[in-house]
Structure 1
Amino acid sequence: MKPSNLLFIFSDEHNKKVTGCYGNEFVKTPNIDKLAANGTRFTQAYTNCPICVPARASLATGRYVHENRCWDNAIAYKGAQPSWGHRLIPQGHDVVSIGKLHYSGYNPSQNGFTEEIQPLHIVDGLGDLLGLIRQECPLPVRKGSAMLGPEAGPGESDYTRYDRAVRDATIQWLKNRTKNIGDKPWVLYVGFVAPHFPLITPQEFFDLYPEHRMTMPKQYLGEDRPTHHPFIQQLRESQIFDQGFTGQEMVRRALSAYYGLVSFLDDNIGGILSAVKEFGLSDSTRIIYSSDHGDNLGARGLWGKSTMYEESAGIPLIISGEGVPKGKQCNTPVSLIDLFPTIVQCVGATLNHEDKDLPGLSLWDIANDKEVMPRTILSEYHAAGSSTGTFMIRYGQYKYIYYVNMPPMLYDVENDPEELQDLGADPIYADILQECDLALRKVVDPEAVNAQCLLDQAHKIEEVGGIEAIKKRGMFRFSPPPGANPVMFKE
Structure 2
Amino acid sequence: MKVIPFRIFTAIALLGVVLFSCKEAPKTEAPAKKPNVVFIFADDHSYNALSNLGADQVYTPNLDRLRKNGTDFSHTYNMGGWNGAICVASRAMINTGQYIWNARRTDSLVRKGQPTNPYWSEYMQQAGYDTYMTGKWHVSRKAEELFNTVGHVRGGMPRSVKTAYNRPLSVNDTVWKSTDTINGGFWAGGTHWSEVVANDALQFIDSAKTKENPFFMYLAFNAPHDPRQAPQEYLDKYPLDQVAVPETFLEEYPYHEEMGAGKKLRDERLAPYPRTPYSIQVHRKEYYALISHMDTQIGKILDALEATGEMDNTYIVFTADHGLSVGQHGLLGKQNMYDHSVRVPFYVVGPDVPKGKTIDAPIYLQDVMPTTLEWAQQAIPEHVEFSSLVPLIQGKGKAHLPYIYGAYTENQRMVRTDSHKLIWYPKAEKIRLFDLKKDPLEENDVAEDANYAEVKTDLIEKLQSLQQDMHDPIPTIGK
Question: In structure 1, what is the equivalent of residue 463 of structure 2?
Answer: 440
Displacement of 1:451 = 4.3
Distance 1:426 1:104 in 2: 45
Distance 2:275 2:458 in 1: 44
Per the normalisation by structure 1, the TM-score is 0.78
1:327 and 2:356 matched: yes
Distance 2:388 2:287 in 1: 32
Question: In structure 1, what is the equivalent of residue 219 of structure 2?
Answer: 190
Distance 2:112 2:91 in 1: 8
Q: Are the equivalent residues in 2 in contact too, given 1:148–1:244 (CA < 8 A)?
A: no
1:366 alignment partner, one of 364, 386, 392:
392
Query: Is the alpha carbon distance of 1:403 and 1:228 closer, same or farther for their aligned partners in structure 2, counting shifts above 3 Å?
Result: closer
1:53 and 2:83 matched: no
Question: In structure 1, what is the equivalent of residue 165 of structure 2?
Answer: 146
1:273 alignment partner, one of 282, 285, 302:
302
> Is the partner of 1:296 in helix, strand or coil?
coil
Question: In structure 1, what is the equivalent of residue 151 of structure 2?
Answer: 117
Q: Which amino acid aligns with 1:175?
A: D
> Is the partner of 1:286 in helix, strand or coil?
strand
Distance 1:315 1:77 in 2: 32
1:206 alignment partner, one of 229, 235, 243:
235
Displacement of 1:7 = 0.6
1:108-145 per-position Cα deviation (integer Å, ceiling 9, x unaligned): 33xx322322112459xxx9xxxxxxxxxxxxxxx998
> Is the partner of 2:323 in helix, strand or coil?
coil
Q: Are the equivalent residues in 2 in contact too, given 1:145–1:240 (CA < 8 A)?
A: no
Q: Which amino acid aligns with 2:387?
A: L
Displacement of 1:207 = 0.3
Distance 1:392 1:413 in 2: 14
Displacement of 1:392 = 2.1
1:294 and 2:323 matched: yes
Displacement of 1:421 = 1.0
Q: Are the equivalent residues in 1 in contact too, given 2:256–2:262 (CA < 8 A)?
A: no
> Is the partner of 1:370 in helix, strand or coil?
coil
Query: Is the alpha carbon distance of 1:312 and 1:152 closer, same or farther for their aligned partners in structure 2, counting shifts above 3 Å?
Result: farther
Displacement of 1:430 = 2.1
Question: In structure 1, what is the equivalent of residue 8 of structure 2?
Answer: none
- Residue correspondence of structure 1 range 84-483 to structure 2 within 5 A: 84-104=120-140, 106-109=142-145, 112-121=146-155, 146-147=165-166, 149=168, 151=176, 153-156=178-181, 157-159=184-186, 161-180=192-211, 182-183=212-213, 185-222=214-251, 225-227=252-254, 231-232=258-259, 235-236=262-263, 238=265, 239-243=268-272, 247-352=276-381, 354-355=382-383, 358-373=384-399, 375=401, 376-382=403-409, 388-405=410-427, 406-445=429-468, 449-451=472-474
Q: Are the equivalent residues in 2 in contact too, given 1:211–1:256 (CA < 8 A)?
A: yes
Displacement of 1:201 = 1.8
Displacement of 1:425 = 2.9
> Is the partner of 1:410 in helix, strand or coil?
strand
Question: In structure 1, what is the equivalent of residue 14 of structure 2?
Answer: none
Distance 1:13 1:241 in 2: 14
Question: In structure 1, what is the equivalent of residue 58 of structure 2?
Answer: 27
> Is the partner of 2:254 in helix, strand or coil?
coil
Percentage identity across paired residues of the two chains: 27
2:46 alignment partner, one of 15, 24, 27:
15
Q: Are the equivalent residues in 2 in contact too, given 1:11–1:191 (CA < 8 A)?
A: yes
1:309-347 per-position Cα deviation (integer Å, ceiling 9, x unaligned): 111111011001111111011100011231121110122
- Segments of structure 1 that go 5 or more residues without pairing to the other structure are 128-142, 383-387, 453-491
Query: Is the alpha carbon distance of 1:416 and 1:96 closer, same or farther for their aligned partners in structure 2, counting shifts above 3 Å?
Result: same
Question: In structure 2, what is the equivalent of residue 131 of structure 1?
Answer: none
Q: Are the equivalent residues in 2 in contact too, given 1:151–1:198 (CA < 8 A)?
A: no
The size of the alignment, in residue pairs, is: 420
Query: Is the alpha carbon distance of 1:53 and 1:436 closer, same or farther for their aligned partners in structure 2, counting shifts above 3 Å?
Result: same
Query: Is the alpha carbon distance of 1:280 and 1:366 closer, same or farther for their aligned partners in structure 2, counting shifts above 3 Å?
Result: same
Displacement of 1:303 = 0.3
1:217-254 per-position Cα deviation (integer Å, ceiling 9, x unaligned): 234353xx551576358534543333268854333222
1:31-80 per-position Cα deviation (integer Å, ceiling 9, x unaligned): 0001000001111111122611011111112211111126999x979873
Q: Which amino acid aligns with 2:132?
A: V
Query: Is the alpha carbon distance of 1:330 and 1:390 closer, same or farther for their aligned partners in structure 2, counting shifts above 3 Å?
Result: same
Distance 2:425 2:254 in 1: 16
Query: Is the alpha carbon distance of 1:419 and 1:76 closer, same or farther for their aligned partners in structure 2, counting shifts above 3 Å?
Result: farther
Tell me which moved more, 12-21 or 88-97. 88-97
Q: Are the equivalent residues in 2 in contact too, given 1:46–1:334 (CA < 8 A)?
A: yes
Q: Which amino acid aligns with 1:57?
A: A
